[in-house]
Amino acid sequence: MSRVHNFSAGPAALPLEVLEQAQASLTDYEGSGMSVMEISHRSKAFMQIAEEAEADLRELMGIPDDYAVLFLQGGATQQFALLPMNLCAPGQSADYLVTGSWSKKAYAQGGAVTQANLVAQGDNASVPAVDSWNLNSDAAFFHYCQNETIGGVEFHELPETGSVPLVADMSSTILSRPIDVSRFGVIYAGAQKNIGPAGLTIMIARKDLLEQGGEGLPPILRYQTQAEAGSMSNTPPTFAWYLAGLVFKWLKRQGGIEAMGEINKRKAEALYAAIDGSDFYANPVAIENRSWMNVPFTLAKPDLDSVFLQEAEAAGLMNLKGHRSVGGMRASIYNAVSEDSVNALIAFMADFESRNA
């Protein structure tokens, strides 16, 4: 079978050696005679998996001791509602910056449970100018999406929000390069892009925010409940947690997220250079807001979109169709997508252009 290059936006590619390691544990985890999916989340074996995963994530991201790390169910989308429920006092509003589809959904969900202040709304191709932002200094938090997976709009500088805690949806950019966790009140991310399989959400939150929030909520909906229980107030998604831990160890073997950031920068720069150097392909995003992780592009002849996709799949270049809401193409080049895969895409694009321009 010829090599497959997976550019899926999520669930996304996972490192092959991680998949092979997980495969070996499917029927017999470390000589136990049981699958890693069959052991109790309260067992000594799984507690070691959980503790190592958290320790490795803390090391990779430099997470301070005054931050909790939670391994949650429900996906990042569920946090759109749970965040204001947990962090807003009665009558308190939250600030939302909308730069694309996911931050728009977060704003809508936030508005369903608290007063949501629209700071600014972008055009899906750039971040609104800072001098246009309508900030509320009394907001419980400022929410934004670090990287819009659908539109390919990314922040390369952190928003300045003063004393208002910064809350970031990092589902598609977490672990792709170093960040200063101490600048944030809360970071959350669905696992299915840079961490592991779908079904797990990582949350990194200042402990003081969790301790003061969620008053009046049922305990199961309070982040503090999960923090006190080590993310095990109910049965967690154990296999997804296990795989996330394997990915964290894989990242450490690659040299950590500093080294991964250098690789991701090269991948993105090479692909954008191929697009910009062509009259046949175009990227709609402002250069200063171009995503390292999700690269949308269009063809000068849109009637060739289906042909491009068919030929790409025949060449082993999979999942390049753009999101249904925007069309065109999209290459998601997360951590597990190698430079070889990006180079294969670039070579195919050049060949396709030479035959169809």
Which residues are identified as catalytic? 102, 169, 193
Residue type, 241: W
Q: Which of 70, 60, 98 is nearest to 209 (CA)?
A: 70
> CA-CA distances (angstroms) from residue 305 to 49, 65, 74, 150, 314?
45, 50, 35, 18, 14
Task: Report residue 317: phi and psi, to 5°.
Answer: -100, 100
Q: For the residues of 123-158, what is the DSSP string, one character each?
A: -SSSPPPGGG----TT-S-EEEESEETTTTEE-SSP
List the structure tokens of 14.
Answer: 């996972």
Buried b (16+ CB within 10 A) or exposed e, 209-225: bbeebbeeeeeeebbbb
List the structure tokens of 24.
Answer: 């070996």
Burial class (CB in 10 A: 0-12, 13-18, 19+), 198: middle
Q: Where are the alpha helices (DSSP H) in the chain?
A: 16-25, 44-61, 75-87, 101-113, 207-212, 223-228, 238-253, 256-276, 305-314, 339-356
Half-sphere exposure in the Cβ direction for 31 (13 Å, CA): 0
Length of the chain (residues): 357
DSSP conformation class of 119: E
Specify which residues 201 forms β-bridges with: 72, 190
What stretch of H or E contains 121? strand 115-121
